[in-house]
Amino acid sequence: MKVIESKNELKEYLDALRADGNTIGFVPTMGALHEGHISLIRQSQQENEVTVCSIFVNPTQFNDVEDFKKYPRNIHVDTELLTDAKCDVLFIPEVEEMYGETIKISPDLEGLDQKLEGSFRPGHFDGVVEIVHHLLQAVEPDRIYMGLKDYQQQLIVGKMISSLNMPVRLRAVETDREDSGLARSSRNSRLSQAQKNDAAVIHKTLFLARQALEEGIDIETIISDATEEIEKFETKLEYFKICDANTLEEITAYDPLRPTVILVAVWWGEVRLIDNLIV
């Protein structure tokens, strides 16, 4: 695996591969890699000749300084994991390299960035959109791979791409889960084993909510049952919402013909977890 720190070197290296007719798949991450990230790498490998992974803990998308400081970092283990997964290129820029020269962009996100995560983490999606745009300009991939685990994020990146007419296709990849159903996340490493076992209730609750929706139970009841289930543990639920899967508007009645998603964010002790389930 080729490890590259500068944008110029990356461009030179990838231009040569592109000139030989290779397509490039790109997986942006913040490191502390796990099987979920590797599933994105695998999907990219199936669809492209060359796979580039970036690791960059982007300061501008953290609305909470403590979260940024405590974000798990382990570049040596990550490099080994990516080498084992046969990733072709690892791009690990420094902050100055990514934010040296900045182009102001203003994609039309149709208000998606203000909802759900956006309202609990002000400025978060400004940071996400900014860094993904910089990274896309540096890598110029044919396809970018993002996890459905961060449902709203991949929706917003898709809007940015279409709004700015960027020549890249977004591929959204299924959420990879532990056997218990808990969605894999870098932040899970900050949970104790007991907390991880308990947090499996998040997926269970999403699953039951989906079942209840399909059975025609009213949304208010579904949300209050789910809230009660999650709040049995030492948690602080930020939201449990049932939304239109494209606009993220909350729905008041389930229509099987309308794409729907159930989204949840909850503080498990000191760790904030998010998950979702498409109906």
* List of residues contacting ligand AMP (CB under 6 A): 29-30, 36-37, 39-40, 146-147, 149-150, 173, 175-176, 183-186
- First-residue to last-residue Cα distance in the chain: 39
Burial status of residue 64 (CB atoms within 10 A of its CB: 0-12, 13-18, 19 or more):
exposed
* Helix, strand, coil content of the chain in percent (nearest 5): 45, 20, 35
Comparing CB distances to ligand AMP, the nearer of 139 and 146 is 146
Residue pair 190/270 in contact (Cβ under 8 Å)? The answer is yes
Q: Catalytic residue positions? A: 37
Comparing CB distances to ligand AMP, the nearer of 154 and 222 is 154
- Name the CA dihedral angle for 204, 210, 212, 218, rounded to a multiple of 10 degrees: 120
Residue pair 263/239 in contact (Cβ under 8 Å)? The answer is yes
Calpha distance 125→157 (Å, rounded): 9
Comparing CB distances to ligand AMP, the nearer of 53 and 242 is 53
Amino acid sitting at position 50: V
Distance of closest approach, residue 40 Cβ to ligand AMP, in angstroms: 5
Distance of closest approach, residue 186 Cβ to ligand AMP, in angstroms: 5
Comparing CB distances to ligand AMP, the nearer of 206 and 222 is 206
Distance of closest approach, residue 149 Cβ to ligand AMP, in angstroms: 4
Distance of closest approach, residue 227 Cβ to ligand AMP, in angstroms: 24
